[in-house]
Structure 1
Amino acid sequence: MAGGPGWVIVSVEALATPIESGWVARLGAAVRQEFRAEVLVPAVADPILGSPGCAVPGCVRSSRYAGLCPAHLGRWRKAGRPDRHGWVKTADPEVMGYRPLHSCLVPDCGFGQHRYRLCYRHSHAWDKAGRPAVDRWKPDVAGTPAAVCAIPGCALWAELDAGWCHSHHRRWRLRGCPSAAEFIAYCASYGEDRFDLRPLAPQLRLEIGYALQCRVDANRTRTTPRSIKPLLDHLVASGAESLLERPLAEWLAGLPAAASVNTPRAFLGYAIECLLDLRDGTGWDSEYQRDVWRLRRLGVSGHDGAKLDFTAVHPVWLRELAKRWCRWRMSCGVGLGQLRSDRLALVRLSQFTPGLASSSGPDALDRAALEAYLARLAVEIPHPKTRSAEIGCVTGFLHAVRQHRWASLPAEAQLYPSDQPRRDETPAPRAIPEFVMGQLESPANLDRISDPRIRLLVEVLIRTGLRIGDATRLALDCLVRDPQGAVYLRYRNHKMRRDAVVPIDDELTAMIQTQQERTRQRFPTAAVLLPRSSANPDGRLPIPTATFHLQLGQWLETCGVTDELGQPAYVTAHQFRHTAATRWINHEVPQEVVRRLLDHTSHTMTAVYARLADTTIREQWERAQKINIRGEPVDITVDGPLADGEWMKQNLARAKMALPNGYCGLPLQKSCPHANACLTCPLFITTAEFLPQHRKQLDDTRALISRAQTDGHTRLAEMNRTVETNLLTIIATLETDQRDCRCAAADSETCCGKESSDAP
């Protein structure tokens, strides 16, 4: 009897008995017909319930070991275990139970062989004829029977009254004369693994069938008959009528050793979860009242087994407010990671606030209680950044309760900005030191990454600075080109919930194209570039970030990566993002460009990542050449132990003694003998950024000289001619330097001698 695609259904008639009302009736209605059978035989190479096909070309059976079916496995062992890859190419694909049955040797006779390779009738006739040579014996042949054997693929004539050929009739009798549908299914699946649910109680049989149905519908985890047979045997021995009659913990505690391995335990838990979903329902109506939310029931995908456990939040009134707040946060699109932080913050609020766990209402949450909570939090969580995040969660909770009037909190039940811990203004940079990066980028070390997906991820993180969560979820068609043919990597910025692109080089493009080909070959319908290798039969799921973190740590250990002190280096995936940004900044990429490359919303975010190295800062300072009033370069190169001190002095003077058109180079401790006459002062220093002011002052000076000469003020004209001469020298020198500067194409406002206005 045919069922779903690729299924062989056995003894469906056994379920013709009436099903009880209530829960069992609902269960029976939910189980599709193909999963109601007492014996389920998955099709060969079924991605969830079956096993891969035998490696011998033409063999129709599934593999058991080493890619071979039991029959070919025995033949291979008997042949002395030669190289399997070469042996399977020449092996006979026909095996017992699937080999075509031979007909009688008498020409035109279609009955199966009985004795002497003759059918039953001709074997007796041959005896009576004295057993002549068969090739010269010409007995009578009956006309063609009305039907051939009922077994699909068998072309022999049917005998007797059951509709089978001689061989299948004998096998049918040995099987106890089952129904035609059951026997046909048995023959079609001869030698294959099967889920034999006949020994189970009727309700338990339905429950296992429903769990298998859910496995197939989820299209995730492979569950073969052999993998859960120890569990089915234990259920039979337990005498249980239903999986729901005992808690999961009790079931797990009673499993024998054979059923205590991962697959049977996981399937048992999965089956109970599916049954509870069916019995209790899903969605907020059924889940909100629980103290442990299974997020799968609330439509949160991509997080297998994720839960929010509120049982540690005390008292009950605070727990109900916490659940209401988290439900509202989920409706606003807050991610699972933040929800877990919110829940943990409220757990600590209930634990760290004296008397709160035993209180009867929100009145206990006054300012004194919050101050006690803050004091305890400072002891338990000394790190300012972590503590600040906790306080932020509690602040948001109190604000939401008051805003939505979920409860009547005391007026003083609130936290203020001053309650936040003081944090370092300039936290330590998180970029990976170049000493370590040199080891990570070594071709020899990169070649030690065996998984090509992990190798590509490392390259993407180093070259683009993507977040690991965005990199693992790259689409298969992630490469785009602009009209000029330049290649960009298109990705989804999941944190900001928008699409973004980043330019990439030809080498990374080639790596991605190679991975695209690998993915298409293994998963023709895949939509992700880096599919996970397990529990992913159709390739729709990306590689988990946890897999990358695990393999990154193993790779660092294998390569023996150390820091400058010789200690094992600790590297996280997110540090590659900090490193990329810091490298771009130190290669003089404008901060606005870095912001766009990182797809940040503000420069403040970029400033957290991008840090100028001390060497880059000094190089920029030395590049901004200064000249004095005679147009001569000022020697600012200082070597020796005082070099850094001289550099800081120059920058301090620039900050404290800036003039409208330059800077004063006089040490701060000395007085100026040229007050109001900077352009005639030998200590005056200027740069090209002040050219517009110099040109304007030159025009004003020439006008002043002309008026002084007209009015007969010779001394005033002579004094300003010195200023005019100095201005002409300064302007000529600065214009020459500006033409030679790498920023000559930009106007003087953005020349390299001037600090960027958007610097962090």
Structure 2
Amino acid sequence: MNTDTAPLPAVPVPARSVPRARVRNRQDKRDPRLPIAELFSEDRARQLWESLPEAHRQDHFDSANMPGDYAQAFTAQTINRGRGWFSQAISLRGLPEPMLFELAWCIDRQVADGYSISTTRFQELRRALALAVEHGGLAAREARSLTALSHEEWEREVRRAVMCATPSSNAHLPALVLHSVKHLQDRLAHAYHEGEWWQLNVWNPGLDRRIPQREHEPEGRRVVNFSQLTTDWFREAAKWWLSVQLSTERYVWSSVKSRLDHLNWLHWYIKQAGCAGPQLVSSPEDLRPWLLGLVDALNSHTALSGPNKGGRLAKNSRRGPLVTMEQFYRWMHDHRSEAVRVLGEPRWSLLGLHHTVLFRLDDKPRRTNELPEDMALEDEVISQIAAGSGTLATPKSEGGMDDRQAFHALMLLIRTGRRMNEVLMMDFEPLLPLVQAKGQNEREPDGFVARLAYQQTKIEGSGPPTIPVDQEIVDIIRVQQQWARDFLTAQGAPQDVNPSYLFVQTRNNRLGLRPYAAATFHHRLGHLTKTLAITDSAGRPVKISKTHTFRHTRATDLINAGVPIHVVMRYLGHLTPAMTMHYAKTLAVTAEREFLRYKKVTADGRTAGLDPGDLYDLLHLDQRADRVLPNGWCMLPPKQVCSKGNACLTCDKFVTDASHRDELKLQLDQTEALIARRQAQFASRHGQPMGDDNVWLSGRLAETNALSKVLVALDHVGVQDGERLRAVRGAGTPDRSQPPSAQSEELKR
């Protein structure tokens, strides 16, 4: 899958032609994540305060009134070590009442979400805001809410107040305010906004519980920002469309960001070429030329990263935006009357049928999903990764990364073939009992002992997301569970609380509510790749961070071991056999490559009568499964019956190669040993050895003679370097007609 990206050119925002009031001008400069002009409401601020438990409605917290959950979440940590001041107390006094309500509510939400709160840092923030309200400019002195100014404006007001008050001891306060207020305003924006959740320009599932999400969402903490769509009618329609797709479960949260990226291309082109509003052009006849300009812009764009860097965008990178644009406009056409009412934009009613199919088939590149040759890792490579994976858990003082979670997760990836998020988002207790057969009390020591439940976040309806696992995997999970329990204890979590996930985020995750981040895991494996510097047999560097290779490897191993396709399909969580055969392709190509590596010879040691590629095709196209022998292949046509029993070694239809050398050598040794034993028995009984005219002996001698010739021929062709073989005749048969090149090769031999 191609990952090249091409950042869109910056598009200047058109100048406003109508001046606005002073308050609105200030709102225009707000953080773009706060698009509502008048967020603050004193009534709403009081409602937030009254929604808190009574023990949490305090203007200060100290040892006398500290709630139990706050005591566990509050940490005393100084910012200015020179002052050496530590305290677990928090005071909200000295601020306007609505601002006090806001801060108290934000503290409660932080604690409930499992975050820790640095009391020292919070005290410094309160002091900075109090200074701004008392000594800042007019805007700060009139402010009653944190939302009254943007975080940049608060930083400037605090800087002004510090300079007027005690600049030497408070120089650090402006920078503290800049980052802290930004986060608090994010929370308050969703709390104050009483309209539909999708009307906000920033969708943050971590702060807005109204956003539809699956119970286990891999990208659940990702924030989607629509502020870059500066064309109002387009931005509001995009938000409405994507919100409906989320609510109706046509899209999942992980898909929203990619769809927005696709729509950014259309917005960029609108800014470059201009348009007539939602209908894009004034006349239907102008739509096709306008769209062709968009297609040409995509086709001529230069990829700035990825495998196509410096060249054209990959096919999928060009196809995706066109498909999304078409889906968006088809849906808007079908809902144009509702769009006029919901969005307040009457021009959506001007959409016609020509907007339902924006692009022709030849405008959109065909989807490509070609697998690279190194998707399935070799056994030796897997062994090297497993041997070097301990670097993940080794302490930093010893040159490691000190991340036992990453080590355990990698071990599970290698052994189970699950997707990365299926491992990182496992429940804390993912093991289920394995149903035993009646009367079966003990299992094989290396057999399956439990079922492992994982989070199926990609394919719905593929059956229960569980797989059987052995004791080794169970042991890895038990060790990780103990690590997670110890981590929560160290964070001050209650004794009886287990984390929600087996692998947990280690920063600001006091209750273990958030899983280990995929980005962190990817970074760790990237570092491990550089440290180990593993290459495969072809000399290609192995990227351990490409975790899907472990899934391909596991699937290939299962198919190679003869596991039925429907069982492999169930193990991988696939809906159709076609999805599973996508992985089997690697095995098929590898098997053919292995077959063609070796020169094919006949029973009398001469080169086989068919090109190796033709021989491989015939064996499979003619369905000659019954012609596959322990020591080679039988080329007798499928409809003919063999009349020679097991006398393959003296048959002109017998073909073999160096991959069977060990079997052939063993057969030669066993036949020679058998002749020696029978000769001894015959001589003891008849007083003389068997003669060459003995029927049994002559047959065995013919076999040993054929085996010797075959082995000599295999050793001979084995030293030839890289020469692809062509066909000659079989054993005991007259010369067959051959092309001149084949005859000259035969003369050389």
Query: So what's the TM-score if we normalise by structure 1?
Result: 0.58
Could you tell me how far 1:204 is from its partner in structure 2?
2.8
Give the alignment partner of residue 371 of structure 1, picking from 289, 292, 305. 292
Q: Which residue of 2 aligns with 1:612?
A: 587
Would the aligned equivalents of 2:156 and 2:174 in 1 still touch at CA under 8 Å?
no
How does 1:257-296 map onto structure 2 within 5 Å? 258-259=172-173, 267-281=180-194, 285-295=195-205, 296=207
Match of 1:595 in 2: 569
8 Å Cα contact 2:319/2:364 also seen in 1: yes
Question: What residue number does 2:385 align with?
Answer: 440
Partners of 1:537 and 1:636 in 2: how far apart?
Answer: 75
With over 3 angstroms needed to count, the CA separation of the structure-2 counterparts of 1:409 and 1:300, relative to structure 1, is same
Cα distance in 1 for partners of 2:202, 2:624 equals: 67
Give the counterpart of 2:276 among 327, 339, 359.
359
Count of residues paired in the alignment:
512
* Residue 115 of structure 2 corresponds to residue 198 of structure 1: no
Shift of 1:195: 1.4
Query: Which position in structure 1 is the counterpart of 2:417?
Result: 465
Equivalence map 1:24-423=2 (5 Å) = 25-26=46-47, 28-30=49-51, 33-41=54-62, 49-50=70-71, 192-216=87-111, 218-239=112-133, 240=140, 241=143, 242-252=145-155, 258-259=172-173, 267-281=180-194, 285-295=195-205, 296-297=207-208, 298-300=210-212, 306-313=222-229, 315-333=231-249, 334-352=251-269, 357-362=274-279, 364=281, 366-380=287-301, 382-405=313-336, 407=348, 408-413=350-355, 414=357, 415-423=359-367
- Alignment of structure 1 residues 484-633 onto 2, 5 Å: 484=437, 486-497=449-460, 499-523=464-488, 524-526=496-498, 527-562=500-535, 565=539, 569=543, 571-610=545-584, 611-612=586-587, 614-617=589-592
Matched, 1:483 2:436: yes
Q: Compare 203-212 and 349-358 and name the one that shifted more.
A: 349-358
What is the alpha-carbon distance in structure 1 between the residues aligned to residue 174 and residue 534 of structure 2? 39
- Shift of residue 49, structure 1, vs aligned partner: 4.5
SS in 2 for 1:496: coil
- Cα distance 1:531–1:326, how it changes in 2: closer, same or farther (>3 A)? same
Query: How far apart are the structure 1 equivalents of 2:124 and 2:605?
Result: 80
CA contact (8 A) 1:41 1:193 kept: yes
AA partner of residue 559 (structure 2): I
Counterpart in the other structure of 2:372: 428
The answer to whether the 8 A contact 1:638-1:646 is kept is: no
Structure 1 distance, partners of 2:334, 2:412, is: 44
What is the Cα deviation at residue 601 of structure 1? 0.7
Distance in structure 1 (CA, Å) of the matches to 2:299 and 2:577: 31
CA deviations over 1:185-208 (Å, ceiling 9, x no partner):
xxxxxx953113333333333332
* Cα distance in 2, alignment partners of residues 519 and 537 from structure 1: 11
Q: Quick one: which amino acid aligns to residue 553 of structure 1?
A: G
Secondary structure of the residue aligned to 1:487 is strand
- The verdict on how the C-alpha distance between 1:43 and 1:343 changes in structure 2, with shifts beyond 3 A counting, is farther
Contact 1:197-1:205 at 8 Å conserved across structures? yes
Amino acid of the residue matched to residue 419 of structure 2?
A: R
Q: What is the TM-score of this pair, normalised by structure 2?
A: 0.59
Once residues 550 and 544 of structure 1 are traced to their aligned partners in structure 2, the CA distance between those partners, rounded to angstroms, is: 10
For 2:246, give the aligned amino acid. Answer: M
Partner SS state of residue 411, structure 2: helix
Distance 2:244 2:559 in 1: 41
Cα distance between partner residues in 2 of 1:660 and 1:519: 52
Q: What secondary structure is seen at the aligned counterpart in 1 of 2:319?
A: helix
State the alpha-carbon separation in 1 of the partners of residues 606 and 411 from structure 2: 40
- Give the superposition deviation at 1:471: 0.7
- Within 1, Cα distance between the matches of 2:43 and 2:55? 22
What is the alpha-carbon distance in structure 1 between the residues aligned to residue 627 and residue 220 of structure 2? 64
1:559 Cα deviation (Å)? 3.4
Aligned counterparts of 1:609 and 1:259: Cα–Cα separation in 2: 57
Q: Is the 8 A contact 2:534 2:542 kept in 1?
A: yes
The answer to which of 484-493 and 20-29 deviates more is 20-29
Q: Over alpha carbons, which structure has the higher Rg?
A: 1
Q: Deviations over 1:225-268 (max 9, x none)?
A: 21222212211211244322211232245666534667x65542
Query: CA offsets, 1:164-196, max 9 Å, x none?
Result: xxxxxxxxxxxxxxxxxxxxxxxxxxx953113
1:388 maps to amino acid: R
Shift in alpha-carbon separation, 1:588–1:386, aligned structure 2, 3 A? farther
What value does the CA root-mean-square deviation take over the aligned residues? Answer: 4.5
Query: What is the deviation of 1:598?
Result: 0.7
CA distance in 1, matches of 2:212, 2:605: 62
Secondary structure in 2 matching 1:362: coil
Aligned match of 1:695: none
Map 1:658-677 → 2, pairs under 5 A: none
- Aligned amino acid, residue 276 of structure 1: A
| Cα shift at 1:26 | 4.1
- Amino acid paired to 1:482: V
What's the secondary structure of 1:455's corresponding residue?
Answer: helix
Question: 1:389-424, CA deviations, whole angstroms, 9 ceiling, x for partnerless residues?
Answer: 333322322332334445443433313444331455
CA distance in 2, matches of 1:211, 1:637: 84
Q: Which runs of 5+ in 1 are unaligned?
A: 1-19, 54-61, 75-190, 627-632, 664-673, 687-760
The structural deviation recorded for 1:459 is 0.9
Higher relative contact order (CA 8 A, sep 6+): 2
Q: Which runs of 5+ in 2 are unaligned?
A: 1-40, 134-139, 160-170, 302-311, 340-347, 395-400, 438-442, 444-448, 489-495, 629-636, 645-650, 656-749
Q: Work out whether residues 315 and 356 of structure 1, in 8 Å CA contact, stay in contact via their aligned partners in 2.
A: no
Contact 1:436 1:569 in 2 (8 A): no
CA–CA distance in 1 between the matches of 2:542 and 2:621? 45
CA distance in 2, matches of 1:238, 1:203: 16
Amino acid at match of 1:420: K
Contact 1:200-1:236 at 8 Å conserved across structures? yes
SS in 2 for 1:507: helix
Q: Is the Cα–Cα contact under 8 Å of residues 506 and 516 in structure 2 kept in the other structure?
A: yes
Deviation at 1:683, TM superposition (A): 8.1
Instruction: Find the aligned partners of 1:362 and 1:338 in 2 and give their Cα distance.
Output: 26
Change (3 A) 1:576 1:353: farther
What are the superposed Cα offsets for residues 325-373 of structure 1, whole Å, 9 maximum, x if unpaired? 2122111222222111111111102323686643234152823322222
User: CA–CA distance in 1 between the matches of 2:88 and 2:654?
Assistant: 90
Query: Secondary structure of the residue that 1:193 maps to in structure 2?
Result: coil
Matched residue, 2:402: 450
SS at match of 2:455: strand
**In 2, Cα distance between the equivalents of 1:395 and 1:586?**
42
Counterpart mapping for 1:623-702 below 5 A = 646-653=611-618
Aligned pair in 2 of structure 1 residues 48, 620: CA closer, same or farther (>3 Å)? farther
- Structure 1 residue 597 displacement after superposition: 1.4
Q: 1:499-532: per-residue Cα shift (whole Å, max 9, x none)?
A: 3111222212211122233334555422432232
Q: CA deviation at 1:541?
A: 2.8
1:551-592 Cα distance to aligned partner (Å, 9 max, x none) = 222333333445664858463223322232233333443433
Give the deviation of 1:467 after TM superposition. 1.2
Structure 2 distance, partners of 1:209, 1:244, is 15
Distance 1:520 1:328 in 2: 40
Structure 1 counterpart SS, 2:172: helix
